[in-house]
Each structure stands twice: as structure tokens, then as C-alpha cells.
Amino acid sequence: MQLLRPFRLAKLTQVVSLALLSCALAAPAAHAAAPKKDSKKPVAAAAATKKAAKEPAGKVRAAAQPKGAKVAKGKPEKADAKLASKKGGKSVLAAKAEREEKTGGKKRLARAGAAVAAAAAATAVEPARLSYGQMAGLHSVTDPLDLQSSVAYVIDQDTHEVLLSKNDQAVLPIASLTKLMTGLLISQARLPMDEMITITQDDVDTEKHSSSRLRVGTTLTRAEMMHLALMSSENRAAHALGRTYPGGLAQFVQLMNSKALQLGMKDTRYVEPTGLSSSNQSSARDLARLVAVAHADPLMREYSTSPGYEVAVGRRTLQFNNTNRLVKSDNWDIGLQKTGYISEAGRCLVMQAHVAGRKLIMVFLDSAGKFSRLADAERVRHWMESKGPTASNTIASRIRG
């Protein structure tokens, strides 16, 4: 018995070793057989995908849920998050966010494209308004100075000699040049200039809907209203001056037309005191007459050429500036000026100025560009200074037309 025990132990060791060797050899065989078994899965997955494509969206979504998974009704985000935590792969919620981001981007691009198309259509439907001078073909008339204003008229104030004339008899809207007549009547009426005037709703522009820094309820003196009307072309101030004139606005407009006839302005007509109406019309020759008379009035000279002016409105102090930047230029000696603009009139300018030793009255109407009326005045000044007072008479005859 003692001799058999070592033999049995050795035999047992051999059996265990054979068993371990068998397991080691069986493992590679199992791994090698596994691809053959799994190779059938892609086919089944493709079939499932093809079948899912034929199903309605609701059924496909339901089939994708694992058995036992509960979907919260009306709360898809929570259900997707719960499913993602179980699957451990790419979050369904993240995938959904990506889809929504792509869809939202496409929608934003579509909206932007629609907005651009709408803007282009609006531009095509609403072309820029033509002024009366453009519609009449006045801009086709040429002149040696290549002026951008369709109407130009320059005379010597003392001798009344016409130095430059271009479409000077054309009757056109005059915009805020109207305020020269408004200011002249107020000044000549000798009304109390310290009397307080309040802006009311009646002074608000309902024709052109222009803006104003003088709110309804603002109270200023008559002198301040006149100053702002002439210097900064303040429409509400000009309207308030006419509205508060003795007899009312209708009486004031009647006086404007009577004064025009008295001055020999036969081509001139006024319907209101601001110039916002295109029915306020005149010719360059008539306006030159008005400038000459207005220049003789000290208040008209002072207020129209003032570079800037401050007014106290309640607790605020408002700074107003002149609409004609030439009044600040060292190259100009301007005695009176007024600018004007509405689309029907184009850019307008009248001035009395000392140029080349002469007192000139200049009228420019229906200028197309924002600064072209000032550029035309500069052209005339350079022309007069280069030619001198003796040579200007010869060249003036070639400019008249």
C-alpha cells in the first residue's frame, strides 16, 4: 500500500496536466469558430434596417426601444436620456440635438435668404423719387462750370448784373427756403420777441413725418423759435411762428403770398410756413429778390448765419448747428443764407456773400447730391476769384441760358 501511493499521485498529476492542455488547445478553436457564427449578424441587421425603413416613424421608434423600457409620454427628452444611460453608447438625446441643430441652421439660412429676396424686391419696386427738376429734364442742361444744380442764378447785389444763369425761370418746389419769408414777416411785424411760444401737436409734421428735437410741450421765446427756424431749419419752430401770428396760420400764409407779390415775386406761391409741402414753389429770380430784401434785416442776417445755438428745454440744454457748413469756413464771408431739402425739390441753397470784391446773391435749386449745392457755390467762388471783376462780364454772357 505504501508503494502504490506515490504511483497514484504521479498519475493524478499527469491527468491534471492533460486536462489543462486540452483547455488551452480548445480556446483558439472556439475563437476561430466565432467569426463564422457572427458573420450572419450583419445580414440580419441589414434586413432589420430595410424592414424598419418601410415602417412608419412611430413604429420604428417603438421597435428601437428595449423590452421593458418605459417612455414618458410628452417628455421625449427624458425617455431618450434614460435609454442612453442603459445603452451606454452615443446619447440619443445628443443625436437628436445634432439633428435639430442642422434643421435649425437650414431654417435660419432659408429665413435669411427670404429676407434678402424681400429687400431686393422692395428696392426694385420702390425706385428713388425723382425731383420735379429731374422729371422736367432740367439736369440735361449743361454749363461751363459743370454745376450739379439744375437751376443756378448769380447776380451782383449792387448792380443787379446777372453773372450766371441756368434755368433761372423754372418754377420748382423750394423746400425750407420758405422759412426766409416766414422769418422776414415775423421780424417786420415787430412782435414781442420775448413772448413764450409752446410747441403743440398742430406743429408736428404729418406730411413728410420729419423728426424734430422740439417735443410737444416745449416752450421757447419767439426769438429762439425764429433763430432755430433760420439757422437749423427747425420745422416745428417755423410752424409755431406762423400758428401764433395774430390772426392765426391761415392769415399768416395769406400775408406770405401778399408779401411775395409786393416784392415782385410773380412765380412764387406759399401754402404753409415750413417748406415741407411741395406746393411751396418759386423761381430762382424770385428767390434772389427775397434774399436781397431779407439781407437788409439785421435779425435775418444774424440768425441765418449763426454757426450754432443753445436753448434750455426744461432741465436739458440742446445744441443746434447751422445746416450750411460754409458759415464756419474762413474762405467765405456770408451775409445771409438758407438751405432746403425735400425729395420733390432736391437740395437747395441761397446765399448773400462777398466774393472777389463783389456782393453776390447766389441761388442753387434742385441739386442732386447731398453736398453738391455747396460744391456749386465753391465752383462759383473759384470762378469769380480766378477771373476777377473785369473778366467776369465776358464769361457771364456764355453761361446765361
CA 349/CA 293 separation, integer angstroms: 16
CA 346/CA 376 separation, integer angstroms: 14
Report which of 261, 264, 239 is spatially closest to residue 186, judged by C-alpha positions: 239
From 176, 367, 372, 392, the catalytic residue? 176
Half-sphere exposure of 41 (CA within 13 A, CB side): 5
| 258 is annotated as an active-site residue | no
Residue by residue, DSSP assigns 39-62 as TTHHHHHHHHHHHHHHS-HHHHHH
The maximal CA–CA distance of the chain, rounded, in angstroms, is: 160
| 212 is annotated as an active-site residue | no
From 179, 277, 283, 392, the catalytic residue? 179
CA 303/CA 183 separation, integer angstroms: 9
| Residues 80, 81, 87: CA angle, nearest 5 degrees | 85
Report which of 372, 329, 328, 380 is spatially closest to residue 348, judged by C-alpha positions: 372
Given a contact cutoff of 8 angstroms between Cβ atoms, the answer to whether 238 and 249 are in contact is: no
Report which of 235, 161, 360, 392 is spatially closest to residue 351, judged by C-alpha positions: 360
Half-sphere exposure of 116 (CA within 13 A, CB side): 6
From 187, 233, 277, 304, the catalytic residue? 233
Query: Phi then psi for 206, rounded to 5 degrees?
Result: -105, 5
Given a contact cutoff of 8 angstroms between Cβ atoms, the answer to whether 353 and 360 are in contact is: yes
| 266 is annotated as an active-site residue | no
Q: Which residues of 180-197 are buried (b: 16+ CB within 10 A; e: fewer)?
A: bbbbbbbbeeebeeeeeb
- Cα-Cα-Cα-Cα torsion 157, 160, 165, 170, nearest 10 degrees, comes to 90
CA 221/CA 120 separation, integer angstroms: 48
Active centre residues (catalytic)? 176, 179, 233
